[in-house]
Homo-oligomer: A and B are copies of this chain.
């Protein structure tokens, strides 16, 4: 192999690395619930913990084998995933499509911000729980370790724009950046957002910076 060919390959590899370094892996969040210790007890038996079935991208988080039914005033959704481990407060994350099916007027919130959110009824094969609050549509966000935040020049709490170069391309604005070294780099969108942009497994997002230039004379 001659030098020119090697140089060509090196250039291609560098170009490829350049591409991937801009990319933010995107994950679709299906509807799911997080359960408090007390609600786990009611729904799955005293002292029962969520049974890990599959690791998720964020360290320590997992999909469990447990499933619940969501019961709203208008409709019911079965077989909804329970994520583990248990949390201080139960939280139900659905899409606006789900919200319509259930008949629950649900606000878009970031995870954990459940004050003044609507309640819901959860049932399992063992029990039933009425939550006074905790139903949200999760706002789009990016989990970002500090080293990536430095690389992208963003800070915890920033709201940024991310372009999805999918079959129905969109730029999502107002994407919350959450920086912590407990995170792996991943952008989370819900099923409505995924469908709206025709997202498929493996399509990354790229940060959009404002192109506006002020030219002074």
User: Could you say how many copies of this chain the assembly holds?
Assistant: 2
Q: Within the assembled complex, what's the spacing in Å between the Cα atoms of A211 and B211?
A: 6
Chain A: interface residue total (CB-CB under 8 A):
27
Q: Name A118-174 residues within 8 Å CB distance of B.
A: 139-140, 167-174
Do residues B215 and A215 form an inter-chain contact, with CB atoms below 8 A? yes
For A96-119 the 0/1 string (1 means CB < 8 A from B) is: 110000000000100000000000
Q: Is A213 an interface residue (CB 8 A)?
A: yes
A52 interface hit (Cβ, 8 Å):
no
A197 touches B198 (CB 8 A): no
Verify B170–A172 contact, CB threshold 8 A.
yes
Q: Which B residue's beta carbon lies closest to that of A199?
A: B96
- Bound CA span A176–B196, Å: 15
Distance in angstroms between the alpha carbons of A213 and B210 in the assembled complex: 12
Between A and B, 6 residue pairs with Cβ closer than 8 Å are A96-B195, A108-B167, A108-B198, A140-B168, A211-B211, A211-B212
